[in-house]
């Protein structure tokens, strides 16, 4: 046990307490939290800055609007429902088609209008929001994901999480939905985390439920050595999120759309620590390298260069 502790210290594994105390407290001012906790605000910010996001179809803020849900959604053959202030992917529904007020989820389940209305009503009631307070429901474009990951995705949309520290993308991983995660890309819901090499944009290791694996457990395809397309774009956008929000320690989530390229899905002020397992590397050493810079690098492009060329662990 003691040897493990020493090895964890040596490789710079970041623990929950240190993440909160040294990074979230010091680099993420409390007043900026609404910018990232509320996906609607994040979307507006990103749109103003010209960052690609999944287009927003509808916003429902009042319970009485739920009555008109079927009419409001009629123009969209497929869409995604999200709570604006949800955490950890809770409360997200992906509808792949609709017909006669019956909605088909990506896992094949059919929802009635009534069930969909109840889900939206729960979102407004605050069931999925962080403090349990009232929330709004967002309806947005469903990603047609880039076929590059189709061999290693069971259902749903794979996404890319980048940890950005003082504007420098320090670590990244690809999150692949599995049968267990029901199309969601969150690790605690059973999704698969695959480490990405920052310099090359190539996947290296994978982890599921804290265990290392090399093949997708459902499709059986090799997880290692896949190159993430638009890697430079992704890193650059991630780096720009620092100026966008002012937050020093961020998790930026991207999806790769077949037609629209990388889209910023959401930002997270308290990004999880499992990314370290997926990369088989500790975050702390890389964070220290960024802290050791004599002065912050002003341009996002400069920071990406620093990340790709100088981050060494």
Partner 1 sequence: MNPRQVYWLALALVIIALSISAYKIFVLKLPVKPDTTIDVWDVEVQITFTAQKRPVKVALYLPQNRGRFDVIDEHFISGEYGLAIQQFATNRKATWSQRYASGKQYLLYKVTLRRALSPNQSSASGKEPKVIPVPYSGASLVAATHIINSLRRHSADNETLVGQLLTQLSGNKRDENVALLLGNDHSPLNRAMLAVNLLAVAGIPAHVVHGVDLTTLQRNARRVHWLEVYYKNKWHDYNLVDGSQHIPDHYLAWWRDNKPLVTLEGGDKLYSKISVNLNPQLALQQHMFTGRKGQARLIEYSLLSLPIETQALFHVILMVPVGVIFLVLMRNLVGVKTFGTFMPILIALAFRETQLLWGIFLFVLVVSLGLSIRFYFDQLKLLLVPRLASVLIVVILLMAAISVLSFKLGLPRGLSIALFPMVILTMTIERMSIVWEERGSSEAVKQGLGSLFVASMAYVLMNLELLRHFIFVFPEMLLILLALSILLGRYSGYRLTELIRFKVLGEKH
Q: Which residues bind partner 1 (CB under 8 A)?
A: 1, 3-5, 7-8, 11, 13, 15-18, 21-22, 63, 90, 114-115, 118, 121-122, 125-127, 188-189, 207, 210-212, 273, 276-277, 280-282
The CA distance from 288 to 280, in Å, is 17
Q: Minimal distance in Å, beta carbon 280 to partner 1? A: 7
Q: What are phi and psi of 226, to 5 degrees?
A: -85, 130
Angle separating helix axes 231-245 and 39-48, nearest 10 degrees: 110
Residue the block writes with tokens 């819901």: 189
Q: Minimal distance in Å, beta carbon 264 to partner 1? A: 24
273 vs 311 by CB, closer to partner 1: 273
64 vs 259 by CB, closer to partner 1: 64
Q: Minimal distance in Å, beta carbon 122 to partner 1? A: 6
97 vs 180 by CB, closer to partner 1: 180
Task: Show Cβ contacts of residue 276 under 8 Å, excluding neighbours closer than 6 positions.
Answer: 13, 14, 171, 282, 283
Query: What element of type H or E holds 75?
Result: none
Q: Which of 186, 226, 187 is nearest to 210 (CA)?
A: 187
12 vs 246 by CB, closer to partner 1: 12
The CA distance from 142 to 53, in Å, is 11
Q: Minimal distance in Å, beta carbon 45 to partner 1? A: 28
Q: Minimal distance in Å, beta carbon 236 to partner 1? A: 29
Q: What is the DSSP letter of 188?
A: G
The CA distance from 174 to 73, in Å, is 31
Report residue 166 CA to chain centroid gap: 18
189 vs 202 by CB, closer to partner 1: 189
Residue 161, Cβ neighbours under 10 Å: how many?
A: 26
Integer-rounded Cα Rg, in Å, for the chain is: 19
Q: Minimal distance in Å, beta carbon 163 to partner 1? A: 16
71 vs 211 by CB, closer to partner 1: 211
**123, 91 contact by CB (below 8 A):** yes
Q: Minimal distance in Å, beta carbon 276 to partner 1? A: 6
37 vs 135 by CB, closer to partner 1: 135
Q: What is the DSSP letter of 126?
A: T
């Amino acid at each position: 046990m003691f040897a493990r502790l020493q090895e964890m210290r040596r490789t710079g594994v970041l623990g929950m307490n240190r993440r909160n105390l040294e990074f979230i407290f010091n680099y993420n001012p409390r007043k900026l939290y609404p910018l990232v906790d509320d996906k609607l605000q994040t979307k507006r910010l990103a749109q103003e800055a010209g960052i690609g996001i999944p287009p927003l179809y509808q916003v429902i803020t009042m319970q009485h609007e739920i009555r008109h849900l079927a009419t409001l959604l009629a123009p969209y053959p497929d869409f995604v429902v999200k709570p604006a202030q949800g955490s950890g992917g809770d409360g997200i529904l992906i509808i792949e088609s609709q017909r006669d007020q019956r909605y088909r989820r990506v896992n094949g389940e059919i929802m009635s209008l009534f069930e969909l209305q109840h889900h939206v009503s729960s979102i407004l009631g605050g069931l999925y929001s962080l403090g349990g307070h009232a929330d709004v429901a967002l309806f947005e474009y469903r990603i047609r994901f880039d076929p590059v990951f189709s061999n290693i995705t069971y259902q749903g949309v794979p996404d890319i999480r980048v940890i950005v520290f003082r504007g420098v993308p320090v670590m990244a991983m690809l999150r692949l939905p599995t049968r267990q995660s029901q199309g969601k890309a969150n690790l605690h819901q059973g999704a698969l985390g695959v480490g990405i090499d920052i310099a090359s944009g190539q996947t290296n290791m994978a982890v599921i439920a804290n265990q290392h694996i090399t093949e997708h457990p459902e499709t059986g395809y090799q997880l290692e050595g896949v190159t993430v397309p638009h890697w430079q774009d992704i890193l650059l956008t991630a780096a720009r999120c620092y100026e966008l929000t002012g937050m020093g320690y961020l998790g930026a989530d991207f999806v790769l759309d077949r037609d629209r390229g990388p889209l910023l899905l959401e930002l997270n002020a308290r990004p999880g620590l499992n990314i370290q397992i997926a990369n088989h590397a500790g975050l702390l050493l890389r964070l220290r390298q960024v802290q050791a810079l004599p002065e912050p690098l002003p341009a996002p492009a400069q920071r990406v260069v620093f990340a790709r060329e100088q981050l060494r662990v």
